[in-house]
């Protein structure tokens, strides 16, 4: 898509409004709109000004002026706005130096792709995320000085099996039994299909959609793998589409990793493969049909996993899912087919083109631009340093005797632990100036102050259940 193509698209679709979008530091899409008459060819060089001090984790008030430069290759028509609206994703630059902004997540993804090429290892990193989510009928919450509560509800929730629904027809998935039921137990088939078809209308390739394991509308829609930056752009569209399709049908979607107690959380198993000159680097004759480079990449991800989690599992809620002994892959090991390991080598196909590694620890609360980049940087570090991942663990990890399980390292148990690991192990991210020290320091500071400490300082409702009568 060239600049001329953008204007042609606008003309063909009768566009009246242009929506400029970019990702903030923690990972929420931001936007503002201009009339189509304000979009000129020079806009793709001059950009549009905005207040960077009002964006979370970005500029101080005395250096607030920033520019967003639209990328013509990202042009799409918004499927939800009443007036025909053209959407352009932008890159953030300093208005004086014109340098790309180090804390712009999209800039980090662009630099990660460039670093892969400069390393000589490969020229393309393909990413395939499997983002799980919940579809609820309603959500209520409050957190104040003397009050804290949340409540989510769903027609599918097993807790509603006795609710008066005039009539209650039953067919509600039991805890941990929601994987692949047909309707009427699966009540969101049509909604997920609408989400899937909306994504396809936007040019986003989708492989499948289905109900997931948990009760109360847990679901998954899988996008077909794409190069890192393209998939990062698609990931923000993915969340935007799912939330808006749900909203216009009277439902709400959340990508929180663990919104329900005693049922499965939402993960984002992330598939990675590296290619060079049209050939897959990860296909070979080693364990499970992968190459030595793939094993080294696994070694890099496992070595840096604790630090990676600060970016791939970046919320306090993430660690309600990552609990040893439960369903989440917290064990830092690799295997073919064994889904209790942090890294799995999928065995669905023997084709060299299908050879990839699946990092199962991440969750969909992450900022895709930063998470995919960090995973790639860990893999590159493993290949460059020839990091041995050790022997695969093909046993059922949950059945291991305590003395064997003690030898298997585990993912962090809290956001604080992950942030401490990132502080101690960030050198692999700094290569090629992909993640700058400023980005690492600001990320740790922001997450500690605004999320970790904010949660630690507040009484938890369950503490009243446990301790009020002491």
pLDDT-based confidence at residue 378 (cuts at 50, 70, 90): very high
How confident is the model at residue 405, as a pLDDT?
80
Say whether 31 is catalytic: no
pLDDT-based confidence at residue 63 (cuts at 50, 70, 90): confident
Q: In the predicted model, is pLDDT for residue 350 greater than 90? A: no
Say whether 51 is catalytic: yes
- Asked whether the whole model's pTM tops 0.85, one would answer yes
Choose, from 106, 211, 269, 321, the residue flagged as catalytic.
269
Say whether 358 is catalytic: yes
Choose, from 130, 156, 263, 381, the residue flagged as catalytic.
130
Q: 463 or 348: which carries more pLDDT confidence?
A: 463
pLDDT tens string 196-219: 999 999 999 999 999 999 999 999
Q: In the predicted model, is pLDDT for residue 20 greater than 80? A: yes
Choose, from 40, 41, 51, 438, the residue flagged as catalytic.
51
Q: 265 or 349: which carries more pLDDT confidence?
A: 265
Say whether 145 is catalytic: no
Choose, from 78, 186, 293, 358, the residue flagged as catalytic.
358
How confident is the model at residue 178, as a pLDDT?
95
How confident is the model at residue 332, as a pLDDT?
93
pLDDT tens string 115-125: 999 999 999 99
Choose, from 212, 263, 293, 451, the residue flagged as catalytic.
212
Q: What is the mean pLDDT of residues 215-224?
A: 98
pLDDT tens string 238-282: 999 999 999 999 999 999 999 999 999 999 999 999 999 999 999
Say whether 304 is catalytic: no
Q: What is the mean pLDDT of residues 77-100?
A: 97
pLDDT tens string 416-443: 999 999 999 999 999 999 999 999 999 9
Choose, from 163, 174, 337, 339, the residue flagged as catalytic.
339
How confident is the model at residue 468, as a pLDDT?
95
Q: What is the mean pLDDT of residues 279-295?
A: 96
Choose, from 71, 132, 186, 293, the residue flagged as catalytic.
132
Q: In the predicted model, is pLDDT for residue 338 greater than 80? A: no
Say whether 174 is catalytic: no
Say whether 40 is catalytic: no
Choose, from 220, 222, 381, 451, the residue flagged as catalytic.
220
Choose, from 360, 381, 416, 451, the residue flagged as catalytic.
360
For residue 301, give the nearest of 415, 404, 378 by alpha carbon: 378
């Amino acid at each position: 898509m060239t600049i001329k193509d953008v204007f042609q698209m606008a003309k063909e679709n009768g566009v009246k409004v242009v929506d400029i979008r970019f990702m903030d530091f923690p990972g929420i899409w931001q936007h503002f709109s201009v009339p189509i008459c304000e979009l000129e060819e020079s806009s793709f060089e001059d950009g549009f000004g905005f207040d960077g001090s009002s964006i979370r984790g970005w500029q101080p008030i005395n250096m607030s002026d920033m520019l967003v430069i639209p990328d013509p290759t990202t042009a799409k028509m918004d499927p939800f706005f009443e007036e025909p609206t053209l959407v352009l994703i932008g890159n953030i630059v300093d208005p004086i130096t014109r340098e790309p902004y180090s804390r712009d997540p999209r800039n980090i993804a662009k630099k990660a792709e460039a670093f892969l090429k400069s390393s000589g290892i490969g020229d393309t990193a393909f990413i395939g995320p499997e983002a799980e989510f919940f579809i609820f009928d309603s959500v209520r919450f409050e957190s104040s000085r003397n009050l804290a509560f949340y409540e989510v509800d769903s027609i599918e929730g097993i807790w509603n099996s006795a609710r008066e629904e005039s009539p209650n027809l039953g067919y509600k998935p039991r805890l941990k039994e929601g994987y692949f039921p047909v309707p009427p137990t699966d009540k969101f088939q049509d909604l997920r299909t609408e989400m899937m078809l909306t994504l396809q209308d936007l040019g986003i390739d989708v492989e499948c959609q289905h109900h997931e394991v948990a009760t109360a509308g847990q679901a998954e829609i899988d996008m077909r793998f794409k190069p890192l930056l393209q998939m990062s752009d698609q990931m923000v569209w993915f969340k935007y589409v799912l939330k808006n399709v749900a909203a216009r049908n009277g439902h709400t979607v959340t990508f929180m990793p663990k919104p329900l107690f005693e049922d499965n959380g939402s993960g984002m198993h992330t598939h990675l493969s590296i290619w060079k000159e049209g050939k897959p680097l990860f296909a070979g004759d080693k364990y499970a049909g992968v190459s030595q480079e793939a094993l080294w990449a696994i070694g890099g991800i496992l070595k840096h996993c604790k630090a990676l989690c600060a970016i791939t599992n970046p919320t306090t809620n993430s660690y309600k899912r990552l609990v040893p002994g439960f369903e989440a892959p917290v064990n830092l090991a690799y295997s073919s087919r064994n889904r209790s390991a942090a890294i799995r080598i999928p065995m669905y196909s023997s084709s060299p083109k299908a050879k990839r590694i699946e990092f199962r620890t991440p969750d969909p609360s992450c900022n895709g631009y930063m998470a995919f980049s960090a995973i790639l940087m860990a893999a590159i570090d493993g290949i460059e340093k020839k990091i041995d991942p050790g022997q695969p663990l093909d046993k059922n990890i949950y059945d291991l005797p305590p003395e064997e399980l003690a030898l298997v390292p585990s993912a962090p148990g809290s956001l604080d632990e992950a942030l401490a690991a990132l502080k101690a192990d960030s050198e692999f991210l700094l290569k090629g100036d992909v993640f700058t020290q400023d980005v690492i320091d600001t990320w740790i500071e922001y997450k500690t102050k605004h999320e970790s400490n904010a949660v630690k300082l507040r009484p938890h409702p369950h503490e009243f259940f446990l301790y009020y009568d002491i």
